[in-house]
Amino acid sequence: MASTSDIKKGLCIIYNNDTYKVIEFQHVKPGKGPAFVRTKLKSLTSGKVVDNTFSAGHKIEEVRVETRKYQYLYPEGDMYHFMNVVDYNQITLPKETIDAVELLKEGEVVTVIVRASDEIPLAVDMPASVVLEVTHTEPGVKGNTATNATKPATVETGARVNVPLFINEGDLIKVETIKGSYMERVKA
What CATH code would you report for 2-62? 2.30.30.30
pLDDT at position 145: 58
Is the pLDDT confidence value at 144 over 60? no
> Comparing 65-125 with 129-186, is the CATH topology the same?
yes
Q: Give me the residues paired with residue 173 across strands.
A: 132, 185
Domain spanning 65-125: which superfamily?
Nucleic acid-binding proteins (2.40.50.140)
Angle at 176 between CA 171 and CA 180, to 5 degrees: 90
pLDDT in tens, 16-67: 888 898 989 999 988 888 899 999 998 887 778 899 999 988 899 998 989 9
Q: Which CATH architecture has domain 129-186?
A: Beta Barrel (2.40)
pLDDT in tens, 100-119: 889 999 999 999 988 888 88
pLDDT at position 70: 95
The edge-to-edge listing of strands for the beta sheet with 90-94 is 90-94, 79-84, 65-76, 109-115, 120-125
Nearest-angstrom CA–CA distance, 65 and 141: 49
Domains of the chain, residue spans: 2-62, 65-125, 129-186
Nearest-angstrom CA–CA distance, 27 and 177: 26
Average pLDDT over residues 84-97: 90
Q: How, if at all, do strands 129-137 and 150-155 pair?
A: antiparallel
